[in-house]
Structure 1
Amino acid sequence: MEHALALRSGRTLEVREYGDESGHPVIFFHGLIGSHHQASYIADQARQNGLRVIAPNRPGVGRSGFTRRTTPLDAVPDVEELAEALGLGEFSVIGISGGAPYALATLSRLGHRVQTATIISGMGPPQLPGALDGMDRRRRLLLGIGSRNPRLARRAFQEAADRFQADPERFLPRLIATWSAPDRMIFRRREVFELFLRDLHSVFTEGVGAEGLAQELALYRNYGFPLRSLPKDRRVTLWQGLADTIVPPAMAWALVRALPNCEALLVPGGHFMAVDEAHRIVARLREQLDEPASLENQT
């Protein structure tokens, strides 16, 4: 089910729901170059496990109106309006890749309502010690540019947008060629390839593209809250592919050290391991809904 929510600010928030429409609500935050389509990775498993996955597009993606933000905390009022509009009380959150800051920001502000928090291939603050070890050099460079010179970041993303719009079917294979071997294998599946093409269209064709992506990069370095301040009675579960070169395993270890209550599960695969690990990710979330949170980190 897809709908557009008219926010009090006058902006539109595009939202797509997956899974069991009468199940436990889970708000899903998509990745950097992504959209609500990424919730499709876990849709079947969510339906089987009684989860209602609610995936909004961030500002400037698809039909969601663009707005200026300075930290991921600025997104929390949208989450509150979304929850109010859908009549949600308590809910869970999932942040995949670049959606991690938004899931954690929601936990920071609305911890009393967040029952579980799951991070998949999550991009944490890049300034955490050792967090970028193993990251592809070009992505490390882009992260640095994004924080120091947003204009250059916009230019780089605009060049990517121009190449995509000129020939989408040629653009994506060139991008995939820069990923790890497990990710390249996953994208040999036509249904996964076409899903990511829809993501790219949501960002570069329907959305504002470069402007929104450049803003996202800057937000990674300014969460607006220290990770140690997150509620200790809410566990954050990290899922990380051991062969990920987009957000490397070093980032997961850096998050383990920074988060007050964390469970880390390192699994075979690359950045898009959620496609194959969806059953385990959803099953663990389902288990956590009925178990008490521990105050100690687990790995």
Structure 2
Amino acid sequence: MGLPVRADDGRLLVAEEWGDPSGTPVLLFHGTPGTRLGTLLPGLAEQHPGFRFLAYDRPGYGESLRSPGRRVADAARDAAAVADAFGVERFAVVGRSGGGPHALACAALLPDRVRAASVLVGLAPPDAAGLDWYAGMTPFNVREYGLALAHLDGRDPGGLERDLAARADAIRRDPVRLLDDLRAELSPHDLPIVEDPRVRAALLRTYQEALRVSHHGWLDDCLAFVRPWGFDVASVVAPVLLRHGLDDAFSPVSHTRWLAGRIPGAEPALVPEAAGHFAAQWALPDVLRWLDGQGAGR
């Protein structure tokens, strides 16, 4: 059972903590679709006793109440509420995949509280100048984000909702369904990772919990990614690590290259070998070592 947290507008968020109660706080942002339960692989908290890990379900996932029309920027106020509930003033943020933009929102909008940020296989904003946003992206994601744009501009306002509601219903009956749907678009490097028993169990658990109540978190994430985010990534002043595999087609590496050119002092870490999208499941130990090097882990 997670900890119920009240956001500043009274909404319920469900949060969790793991690790060393006296360790350096690190707020983890889950992917899309996802929940707090998928942010740490089993055993990682115990292997890193100097850190206190926090995570919460974004609105619409699990039992966190929906916030219709939410923007990426809105994650900053929810993150602040979660940190306050655990008595944490300053913290690092780490976002994987769909959690990446939300981690950047915290770094940009909570400069006095976020001491460092890391984004793993993240996305760039939809209005990124000079970036072909869809180039190199899997057909699965191109279709979902295309439906999100059609929802926002009125061309097909119900298409994305119908699609995700049906997918979520199928996944509730059989969580393996999402992995099976994605299998055809996984890189040769991703296939063995999602077949690893620890990774597979974590993915199935988080998909099941994410969509247990509704599909709204998934819907609102997709819409948030393709509408203006509500902040400028160039305003981030905290140290930022941008880690991405060169073989990633779910979040193309061009997005991280674009972010690296816009965020002052950002440190790109482009992984050349055996590095698809799901390899980021194993990246947290490297991120924690980087946090130590920034002084954020002490």
Bigger Cα displacement from structure 2, 274-283 vs 92-101: 274-283
Match of 2:203 in 1: 196
Contact 2:194 2:278 in 1 (8 A): no
SS at 2:259 equivalent: helix
8 Å CA contact retained: 1:49, 1:282: no
Count, aligned residues: 287
Partner of 1:161: 168
Tell me the equivalent position of 1:272. 278
Q: Distance in 1 between matches of 2:234 and 2:43?
A: 32
Please show how residues 140-155 of structure 1 align to structure 2 within 5 Å. Answer: 140-149=142-151, 150-155=157-162
Q: 1:8 to 1:252 in 2, by over 3 A?
A: closer
Give, in whole Å, the separation in 2 of the partners of 1:134 and 1:115. Answer: 33
Q: CA 1:274 to 1:43, structure 2 compared with 1: closer, same or farther past 3 Å?
A: farther
| Equivalent position amino acid for 1:86 in 2 | F
Match of 2:115 in 1: 115
- The alpha carbon displacement at 1:49 in A equals 5.1
For structure 1, which runs of at least 5 residues remain unmatched after alignment?
A: 292-299
Q: Is 1:255 aligned with 2:259?
A: yes
Mean CA deviation greater in 131-140 or 193-202: 131-140
Alignment root-mean-square deviation, CA: 2.2
Partner Cα distance (2:206, 2:164) in 1: 15
| Letter of the structure 2 residue corresponding to residue 203 of structure 1 | A
For the structure 1 residues 100 and 290, does the alpha-carbon distance in structure 2 shift closer, same or farther, using more than 3 Å as the test?
closer
- Structure 2 vs 1, CA of residues 227 and 123 (structure 1 numbering), >3 Å: closer, same or farther? same
Alignment check: 8 A CA contact 1:49 1:283 kept: no
Q: TM-score, normalised by structure 1?
A: 0.88
Tell me the SS of whatever aligns to 1:173. Answer: helix
Alignment match of 1:217 (pick from 218, 222, 243): 222
Q: Distance in 2 between matches of 1:113 and 1:55?
A: 16
Q: Secondary structure at the match of 2:125?
A: coil
- Contact 1:18 1:40 (8 Å CA) reproduced: no
- Using a 3 Å threshold, how does the CA distance of structure 1 residues 99 and 42 change in structure 2: closer, same or farther? farther
Equivalent residue for 1:54?
A: 54
| TM-score, length of structure 2 as denominator length | 0.88
Q: 1:274 to 1:18 in 2, by over 3 A?
A: farther
Q: Match for 1:281: what amino acid? A: V
When structure 1 is superposed on structure 2, of 35-44 and 249-258 the one drifting more is: 35-44
Sequence identity (%)? 30
Q: Does the CA contact (< 8 Å) of 2:30 and 2:95 recur in 1?
A: yes
What does the per-residue CA deviation read over 1:178-214, in whole Å, with 9 as the maximum and x for residues that have no partner?
Answer: 2112111111112211211111111222x321x3222
1:281 pairs with one of 280, 287, 296:
287
SS across alignment from 2:15:
strand
Residue 133 of structure 1: aligned partner: 135
Q: Provide the rounded CA distance (Å) in 1 between the counterparts of 2:5 and 2:243.
A: 30
The whole-number CA distance in structure 2 between the counterparts of 1:42 and 1:24 is 19
Shift of 1:168: 2.8
> 1:9, CA displacement in angstroms?
3.2
Distance 1:154 1:113 in 2: 35
My pick for the range that moved more, 277-286 or 178-187, is 277-286
